[in-house]
Amino acid sequence: MAIEYVLILAGRSSVDQVAERASAEPDDRPTGNAPLLSVDLTDRRGFTLTVRSGPDRYVSAQGDAGWWEWEPAPFVSLTFRLDKAADLQRSVLNMLPFVRRVLDSGGEDAAFVQNGDNLLFTRLNGTLVKHHRDDWWAYYDGADQVV
């Protein structure tokens, strides 16, 4: 079974803009036709990356205070799919700089969710809040410093 991490952004940024913001190297940039871009970085980074946009989205995930719900409209999401055979340490540590670049290059409200139900962080009104998945943040050496 694959592991998916999704960074959801609220707002009208285009998929092309977000893909460019996420990828420091042109070879890492997703391509295709809006509203869906993708790139297979499995060999180089340990994941595939899909960037898509839409008019609205519903997010429901387990956070510190129970189930957290959010309905960004419109939205852009970045989905990082890690294959079940992937070296998770390598893949996650390669993924987090993409997430950091997106956060640093825009001020959108955001949520970062693992496997559709574990909330790892939110950024609302400019305030980033990590949800205390201490085992997750501690397992990936350096993750806490990147985000």
Rounded CA-CA distance 134/93 in Å is: 16
In this structure, how many other beta carbons lie within 10 angstroms of the beta carbon of residue 134?
10
The full set of domains in the chain, from first to last, is 3-146 (3.30.310)
Q: Is the pLDDT of residue 132 over 80?
A: no
In this structure, how many other beta carbons lie within 10 angstroms of the beta carbon of residue 11?
16
In this structure, how many other beta carbons lie within 10 angstroms of the beta carbon of residue 19?
25
Q: pTM of the entire structure?
A: 0.95
Q: Residue 1, class by beta-carbon neighbours within 10 Å (0-12 exposed, 13-18 middle, 19+ buried)?
A: exposed
Q: Are 66 and 118 in contact (CB under 8 A)?
A: no
Q: Tell me the DSSP string of 98-111.
A: HHHHHHHT----EE
pLDDT tens, 14-66?
999 999 999 999 999 999 999 999 999 999 999 999 999 999 999 999 998 89
The pLDDT score that the predictor gives to residue 99 is 96
pLDDT tens, 74-121?
999 999 999 988 899 999 999 999 999 999 999 999 999 999 999 999
The pLDDT score that the predictor gives to residue 136 is 84
- List the alpha helices (DSSP H) in the chain: 15-22, 88-104, 134-139, 143-146
The pLDDT score that the predictor gives to residue 19 is 97
pLDDT tens, 134-146?
688 888 877 877 7
Paired tokens of 86: 């992937």
